Every structure is written in C-alpha cells, then in structure tokens.
C-alpha cells in the first residue's frame, strides 16, 4: 500500500515537473502590429489562431497599433519584443537616434513593395503624377506615403505642391469634399475607405509608388536587439511559424478573415476580405516579392532605399542598411517558397 502511494506521489510529482518544464520552455513574445485589426493583420492572427506559435513553444500576444512610427518606438523602449513596421520608419529611427541603446532590427520582409500611393478623384482632372504639380495634397503628418513623397516627386518631376495635415479618419472625407486635390495613403486602406464614403473605385485615380519609379520596401517584422541577443532561437521559431501561417492565408484569404473577426467583432467581413486580397496582390505576392523570395531583400535595392530615405526624410545621420536589416534568422529558402505563381 505504501509502495503504491509512493508511486502515485512520484508519478504526480513527475507530471507536475513535466508541466512546469514545458511551461518554462515557453517564451512569451509581445508583438505589435502597425495598425488596427484589418484584413492584412490575418497574416499574424491566423498563425496565432491555428496554434503555430504554440507549436514552437512561443506564447505570442498580438496587439493592434496606431502607425509604424509608434511600433518602432515601442519595440525600441522594450514595451514590445517584436512588431510590424514600415522599413522607412525603422530607418528613420536609426538615423535620427544614433545613440539610442536599443535600435530595433528588421529580420523579415512582409510587404516587399511599399503600399503607398497617391489617390485623386477622376473628376479633378488629375490623371498622371505630372498633374499633381501646384496641387493641394492631404495626409496625416506621419503617413508613410507623405514622408516618402519627396522620392515620388523627384522621380516624376512634381513641383509646387502644398500639404494639408489631418487625422487619419478625415483623410478620405476631405478628398471627397474637395478640401484637397489628392491624398497619399496605403492603397488597400484609402481606396476601400473612399468606397465606404460612396465613391466608386472606377472614379478614383490610383498612382501606386512602385509603378512610378519608387522602389521602396514596405513593412517588415522588427525585433528588439535584447531578444535577438538573449533568445535568437525564439526569433527563428517565430518567423518559421509565421511563414507557415502566411501560406494558409494566401491559400484561403476569405477563411483567414474569421481570425480577424475573432479579434474585432465589428469589422465588415466582405470589406476586410477585399482589403486582404488587395494587400496580397499588391505588396505580399507582388512581382518583386516573387523575384526576390518571400521574406527576403535585395542588397542593392536596400542600399538605394537607405540613401533615398536619408535624403527624403532629411535624417540626422546617413542610414546604414547593414545595421537596419539582418536576414540571418529567416527560415530556409524551401520554407520561404510559399508565394503562388500568378
């Protein structure tokens, strides 16, 4: 009897020890998106919902964001371990804060092309970038497209324009009202926001930056240097699980929206499905992404972007692309081969 009790107690101790060890091996990761829970956030919410992060012993919490600049700052401060942010915003932070002790590093490209574009209503008579000269443009001060507009303007000889600043929810409204002649914004955000305000897509002129000589990268996964130093295996595991999830999202975007709906119950499912598909087609599975490979970058293109952002953002110091980007944590080329051929 005593022996059986001892065995039971030993077994119970073993189970408790195994459970505590399993728990101890789970690494908590705080992740911040660049924006609200919308269609494109399925790229992160789906691998979380399917348990892919848990499978690799990561306890990932994903929070909405309010702009790439904020995400970069919060990862730099240690409030978040990782995030999704516009690469130009990360470059700007590096160049303007050369003495910052914790400068986040980009480890995986998600939007191979910047989603920024200039949008105008056809009735304005604006058809090409040349028509923007002397016009009134509108965007929030921190908008990625607005900050990179000097690169667009230089590539297309646009001159004499002026800017009007507003909060993000007013951008499309002011264009519809005629308060501004054109706006900058992410194509998959502003185009659908214009539709929500009663404008038909056919009545909007869209000038995507990548189609008009601006070869900037878009959003990348960024990591705090502390996590890279203390737990590089966790970073590798995250990127591997994320890639697996993205493959599922690409295969069935409509199903992935359910994972966004689970986080924000008031989203418009049809609208966000279209937004996700638009993001996939324009920046995730773009011709450049297929040429370079999902998650990866091209060194000369990265160097050109660093130079262009240094000039356009008038940064305190020149941007060193080798310090901003580190591709050593990426999954294998075979794992990254997830982009469906067009």
What angle in degrees, to the nearest 10, is found between the helix axes of 299-312 and 87-96?
60
Length of the chain equals 342
Topology alike, domains 8-113+217-336 and 116-212: yes
- Torsion sign (Cα): 245, 247, 248, 254: positive
**87-125 in b/e burial notation, b at 16+ Cβ within 10 A?**
bbbbbbbbbebeeeeebbbbbbbbbbbbbbbbbbbeeee
CA atoms of 251 and 279, how far apart (whole Å): 14
Domain spans of the chain?
8-113+217-336, 116-212
Spell out the CATH class of 8-113+217-336: alpha beta
Mean local confidence (pLDDT), 199-222: 96
For residues 12 and 322, which has the higher predicted lDDT (pLDDT)?
322
pLDDT, tens digit, 9 for 90 and up, residues 24-51: 589 999 999 999 999 999 999 999 999 9
* CA distances from residue 58 to 77, 201, 328, 335 in whole angstroms, order as listed: 21, 41, 20, 19
**For residue 341, what pLDDT is reported?**
84
Q: Which two tokens stand for residue 135?
A: 């016009």
Which residues share a beta bridge with 5?
none
For residues 85 and 144, which has the higher predicted lDDT (pLDDT)?
85
Which residues share a beta bridge with 186?
116
> Is a pLDDT exceeding 70 seen at residue 201?
yes
Total H helices, total E strands in the chain: 17, 10
Percent of the chain predicted with pLDDT > 70: 93
Phi and psi dihedrals of 285, rounded to 5? Answer: -110, 50
CA atoms of 282 and 221, how far apart (whole Å): 18
CA atoms of 89 and 312, how far apart (whole Å): 12
Exposed/middle/buried for residue 183 (C-beta within 10 Å: 0-12, 13-18, 19+)? buried
> Is a pLDDT exceeding 60 seen at residue 312?
yes
**What's this model's pTM, rounded to 2 decimal places?**
0.90
For residues 1 and 94, which has the higher predicted lDDT (pLDDT)?
94
116-212: CATH, from 3.40.50.720, 3.40.50.2300, 3.40.470.10, 3.40.190.10 = 3.40.190.10
> Is a pLDDT exceeding 50 seen at residue 21?
no
**For residue 10, what pLDDT is reported?**
54
**For residue 2, what pLDDT is reported?**
57
């Amino acid at each position: 009897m005593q022996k059986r009790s001892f065995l039971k107690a030993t077994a119970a101790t073993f189970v408790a020890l195994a459970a505590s060890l399993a728990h101890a091996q789970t690494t908590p990761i705080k992740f911040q998106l660049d924006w609200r829970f919308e269609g494109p956030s399925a790229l992160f919410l789906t691998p979380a919902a399917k348990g892919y992060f848990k499978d690799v012993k990561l306890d990932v919490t994903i929070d909405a964001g309010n702009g790439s600049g904020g995400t970069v700052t919060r990862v730099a401060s240690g409030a978040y371990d990782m995030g999704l942010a516009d690469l130009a915003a990360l470059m700007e932070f590096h160049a303007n804060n050369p003495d910052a002790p914790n400068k986040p590093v980009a480890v995986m490209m998600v939007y191979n092309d910047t989603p920024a574009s200039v949008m105008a209503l056809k009735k304005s008579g604006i058809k090409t970038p040349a028509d923007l000269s002397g016009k009134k443009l509108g965007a929030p001060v921190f908008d990625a497209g607005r900050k990179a507009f000097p690169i667009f303007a230089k590539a297309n000889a646009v001159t004499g324009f002026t800017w009007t600043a507003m909060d993000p929810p007013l951008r499309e409204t002011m264009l519809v009202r005629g308060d501004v002649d054109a706006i900058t914004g992410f194509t998959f955000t502003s185009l659908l926001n214009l539709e929500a305000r009663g404008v038909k897509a056919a009545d909007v002129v869209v000038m995507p930056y990548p189609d008009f000589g601006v070869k900037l990268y878009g959003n990348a996964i960024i990591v705090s240097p502390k996590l890279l130093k203390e737990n590089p295996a966790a970073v590798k595991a995250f990127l591997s699980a994320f890639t697996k999830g993205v493959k599922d999202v690409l295969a069935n975007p409509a199903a992935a929206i359910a994972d966004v709906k689970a986080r924000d119950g008031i989203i418009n499912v049809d609208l966000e499905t279209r937004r996700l598909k638009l993001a996939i087609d324009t920046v995730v599975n773009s011709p450049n992404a297929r040429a370079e490979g999902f998650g990866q970058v091209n060194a000369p293109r990265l160097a050109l972007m660093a130079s262009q952002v240094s000039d356009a953002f008038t940064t305190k110091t020149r941007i060193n692309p080798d310090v901003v980007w580190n591709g050593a944590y990426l999954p294998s080329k075979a794992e990254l081969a997830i982009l469906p051929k067009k």
